[in-house]
DNA sequence: ATAATAGTGTCTATCAGACATTATCTG
DNA sequence: CAGATAATGTCTGATAGACACTATTAT
């Protein structure tokens, strides 16, 4: 606190007392959270979606999320949401991007701060207040399409993608433009959030330890490699991969199977 | 639009008509923008700051910024701000991070979406509504301190930095904790925004063309290398640097001096 | 034994780091 | 010419890509 006076002759204390915050129109701000994990046999990624129980986008599948409260950070709101959905705490959770396009929510002016969470293994999803349902969807993301599938519920959501590049100053961006191909769709602009998160994840995976968040605390190298490959959606050479991660690993001493079928057992590791 | 009815028997149209958005408390949302450019002799970076003319943080230097309006995106708000300050349009402008800590603004609940802009060369800064003053500051950012200096105005703002690492799931982050060392300080949490932006810029500079935003449309290789070195705050080997950028360049055919002092003239290039 | 998977060896091309040398300009 | 800067040459060590080979397990 200082005692300088402003043009109206008010100190900071006086100014704050008379300050009227009600002059500007304010947006609602929510967090939307992408909860991503490996599927049962480590052959691909899964995304947690909830089914909306009310307008707008009633009966559509959507990213879990909720309003940020006045006494919490966006991170805390996202962590709360994550725990409500999965029961998990102490999990990788990172801010991706903030979406602000006017009209993205037909109800009112709503901005959304998107978070990405990478969870180790699948868990049962809990019930949820506003949601009719919650379920893991198989996530296939490649250069030409996004496919979200839940066979149990008979739901398939497909967007075709078109790459488009545009300039930001001297920097050229590659962007994916989605076009809906199925009856079912994701609510709001949640496809765009998904695209942005997957782009960022792919850029960072080699320079971070994000892939380690997708496997258990102790893991085998075939499992870890599967996590990298699922994120990148392309195969990696075994030897190069192992050379790359080798200095991040510590052997646990035990061995176990990575695979249900035949073959040798794998050494177990933990992250150094 | 679909005609499904919700639990209360309302269609989407009816629901939206009766929807009352006023139940939640809403934050104000602003954009704060880091405008960064090279200094006169390409020996370092400069940051554009404005001097606050009112409480809170009266007479403190701060990042330019302003409230987002209902009919615009955060990007548009930042671009508007950038043009008001510098007169520049069609400039590199990218969302960095959204700051939401409760209490970061003593007036009321305010979130800030931070943007980074990289501008080619220094320009005169224009006047500004709420600001008493606006000026370019020399920016020195290294592992142990941040220094912002404007010799003309006799202003020096210094923070010492302490590296701290913390875990986010399996991912370890390196964070800088700032401690103020001078009378003068940056307003609000603007040091933290600056730190976040510089961290991101340094991570991305090698995998993007951001450095090209800091030089003119036609540039020499000594100038471009100086831009990389100013961002990274360390020297690069000339040959390796030139090999790295060579495939991004086109010669213009002309030559000119890069330096005020003696020495050979440099070839001019543009970005491919 | 055979199929399947885990793990290692080795060659190559690329590239950043490091340093040396040549080229061109000013005074 | 000397001093300064621009541009290029070359060696080295690290590493990703590519492929081949050995090791271990289930049936």
**Predicted local confidence at residue B20, as pLDDT:** 81
pLDDT interval class at B126 (50, 70, 90): low
Please indicate, yes or no, whether residues B121 and B217 belong to a single structural domain of this protein: no
- Look up tokens 């009633």; give the residue: A58
Query: Which chain B residues in 199-258 sit with Cβ < 7 A of strand C?
Result: 236-240, 243-244, 255
Please indicate, yes or no, whether residues B131 and B247 belong to a single structural domain of this protein: no
**Would the CB atoms of A108 and B53 count as touching at under 8 Å?**
no
**Predicted local confidence at residue B130, as pLDDT:** 62
Six token digits for residue A62: 């959507």
Q: Name the residue among B181, B199, B202, B180 with its Cα closest to residue B189.
A: B180
Task: Assess whether pLDDT exceeds 60 at residue B128.
Answer: no
pTM above 0.75, yes or no: yes
**Predicted local confidence at residue A122, as pLDDT:** 72
Chain A residues inside the 8 Å CB shell of B30: none
Instruction: Report if residue B258 sits inside a domain.
Output: yes
For the stretch B247-252, contacts whose Cβ atoms lie closer than 8 Å and that sit 24 or more positions apart, written own/partner, are B247/B272, B248/B209, B248/B212, B248/B272, B252/B218
**Would the CB atoms of B15 and A56 count as touching at under 8 Å?**
yes
Instruction: Report if residue B4 sits inside a domain.
Output: no
CATH of the domain at B122: 3.90.79.10
Instruction: Report if residue A115 sits inside a domain.
Output: yes
Output the average pLDDT for chain A: 93
Report the 10 Å Cβ neighbour count for A262. Answer: 6
**Predicted local confidence at residue A127, as pLDDT:** 59
User: If you average pLDDT over residues A84-102, what whole number do you get?
Assistant: 95
Instruction: Report if residue A80 sits inside a domain.
Output: yes
Q: Which nucleotides of D are covered by protein (CB under 7 A)?
A: 3-10, 15-20, 23-27
Report the 10 Å Cβ neighbour count for A248. Answer: 14
Please indicate, yes or no, whether residues A101 and A122 belong to a single structural domain of this protein: yes
DSSP helix/strand/coil, A55? coil
A179 touches chain B (CB under 8 A): no
Q: Does residue A220 approach strand C to less than 7 Å at its CB?
A: yes
pLDDT interval class at A253 (50, 70, 90): very high
How far is B253 from B111, CA to CA, in rounded Å?
Answer: 49
How far is B61 from B184, CA to CA, in rounded Å?
Answer: 8
pLDDT tens sequence across B45-65: 999 999 999 889 999 999 999
Element (H, E) at A256: strand A249-256
Q: How close A262 comes to chain B (CA, Å)? A: 30
User: If you average pLDDT over residues B143-161, what whole number do you get?
Assistant: 97
Instruction: Report if residue B5 sits inside a domain.
Output: no
Element (H, E) at B243: helix B238-245
Domain extent for A72: 28-204
**Predicted local confidence at residue A125, as pLDDT:** 75
- Look up tokens 């100086």; give the residue: B226
Q: Name the residue among B114, B139, B113, B137 with its Cα closest to residue B125.
A: B137
Nearest CB to A55; choose among B16, B90, B213: B16
Apex B165 CA angle, B201 and A112, nearest 5:
55
Please indicate, yes or no, whether residues B148 and B239 belong to a single structural domain of this protein: no
Instruction: Report if residue B6 sits inside a domain.
Output: no
User: Do the beta carbons of residue B178 and residue B160 sit within 8 Å?
Assistant: yes
Task: Assess whether pLDDT exceeds 80 at residue B240.
Answer: yes
A89 touches chain B (CB under 8 A): no
User: Do the beta carbons of residue A91 and residue A80 sit within 8 Å?
Assistant: no
Footprint of strand D on the protein (CB under 7 A): A 236-240, 243-244, 255, 262-265; B 220-222, 238-239, 242, 255, 258-259, 261-267
Burial class (CB in 10 A: 0-12, 13-18, 19+), B240: exposed
The DSSP code sequence of B173-214 is EEEEEEEE-SS--BSTTHHHHHHHHHHHHHHHGGGSSGGGGG
How far is B84 from B119, CA to CA, in rounded Å?
Answer: 14
Percent of chain A residues topping a pLDDT of 90: 82
Please indicate, yes or no, whether residues A133 and A230 belong to a single structural domain of this protein: no
The whole-angstrom distance between residue B264's C-alpha and the CA centroid of its chain comes to: 34
Among the candidates A172, A204, A236, a domain finishes at A204
pLDDT interval class at B132 (50, 70, 90): confident
Apex A226 CA angle, A88 and A256, nearest 5:
80
Please indicate, yes or no, whether residues B122 and B194 belong to a single structural domain of this protein: yes
Phi and psi angles of residue A239, each rounded to the nearest 5 degrees, phi first: -65, -45
Among the candidates A204, A235, A260, a domain finishes at A204
Please indicate, yes or no, whether residues B39 and B106 belong to a single structural domain of this protein: yes
Report the 10 Å Cβ neighbour count for A226. Answer: 23
Task: Assess whether pLDDT exceeds 80 at residue A59.
Answer: yes
Instruction: Report if residue A160 sits inside a domain.
Output: yes
User: Do the beta carbons of residue A56 and residue B15 sit within 8 Å?
Assistant: yes
User: Do the beta carbons of residue B48 and residue B136 sit within 8 Å?
Assistant: yes
How far is B59 from B52, CA to CA, in rounded Å?
Answer: 5
Task: Assess whether pLDDT exceeds 80 at residue B129.
Answer: no
Please indicate, yes or no, whether residues A86 and A217 belong to a single structural domain of this protein: no
CATH of the domain at B251: 1.10.10.10
**Would the CB atoms of B107 and A16 count as touching at under 8 Å?**
yes
Please indicate, yes or no, whether residues B70 and B45 belong to a single structural domain of this protein: yes
Please indicate, yes or no, whether residues A151 and A233 belong to a single structural domain of this protein: no
Among the candidates B174, B204, B234, a domain finishes at B204
pLDDT interval class at A128 (50, 70, 90): low
Q: How close A126 comes to chain B (CA, Å)? A: 21
Q: Which nucleotides of C are covered by protein (CB under 7 A)?
A: 3-10, 15-20, 23-27
- E-strand ranges in chain B read 28-38, 45-52, 61-62, 65-67, 92-99, 110-119, 131-141, 145-150, 155-168, 171-180, 219-220, 249-256, 266-271
Q: Name the residue among A55, A130, A108 with its Cα closest to residue B15.
A: A55
Instruction: Report if residue B233 sits inside a domain.
Output: yes
Please indicate, yes or no, whether residues B165 and B224 belong to a single structural domain of this protein: no
Q: How many domains does chain A have?
A: 2
Q: Name beta bridge partners: B238.
A: none
Please indicate, yes or no, whether residues B193 and B67 belong to a single structural domain of this protein: yes
Q: How close B262 comes to chain A (CA, Å)? A: 30
Measured CA to C1', the nucleotide nearest B239 is: D8
Residue with nearest Cα to nucleotide C19 C1': B237
Distance A244 CA to D16 C1' (A): 9
Burial class (CB in 10 A: 0-12, 13-18, 19+), A190: buried
Least confident of A21-30, A149-158, B142-151: A21-30
């Amino acid at each position: 606190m200082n005692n300088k006076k402003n043009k109206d002759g008010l100190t900071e204390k006086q100014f704050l007392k008379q300050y009227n915050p009600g002059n500007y129109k304010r947006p609602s701000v929510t967090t939307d959270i992408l909860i991503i994990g490996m599927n049962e046999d480590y052959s691909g990624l899964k995304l947690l979606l909830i089914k909306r129980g009310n307008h707008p986008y009633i009966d559509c599948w959507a990213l879990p999320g909720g309003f940020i409260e006045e006494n919490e950070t966006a991170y805390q709101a996202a962590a709360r949401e994550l725990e409500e959905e999965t029961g998990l705490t102490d999990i990788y959770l990172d801010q991706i991007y903030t979406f602000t396009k006017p009209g993205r929510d037909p109800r009112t002016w709503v901005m959304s701060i998107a978070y990405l969470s990478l969870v180790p293994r699948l868990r049962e999803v809990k019930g949820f207040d506003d949601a009719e349902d919650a379920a893991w969807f198989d996530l296939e993301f490649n250069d030409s399409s996004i496919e979200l599938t839940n066979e149990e519920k008979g739901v398939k959501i497909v967007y075709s993608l078109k790459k488009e590049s545009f300039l930001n100053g001297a920097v050229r961006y590659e962007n994916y433009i989605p076009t809906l191909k199925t009856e079912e769709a994701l609510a709001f602009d949640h496809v765009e959030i998904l695209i942005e998160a997957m782009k960022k994840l792919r850029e960072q995976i080699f320079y971070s330890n994000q892939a380690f968040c997708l496997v258990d605390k102790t893991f085998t190298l075939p499992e870890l490699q599967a996590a990298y490959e699922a994120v990148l959606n392309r195969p990696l050479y075994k030897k190069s991969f192992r050379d790359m991660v080798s200095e991040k690993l510590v052997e646990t001493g035990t061995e176990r199977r990575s695979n249900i079928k035949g073959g040798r057992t794998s050494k177990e590791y933990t992250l150094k």
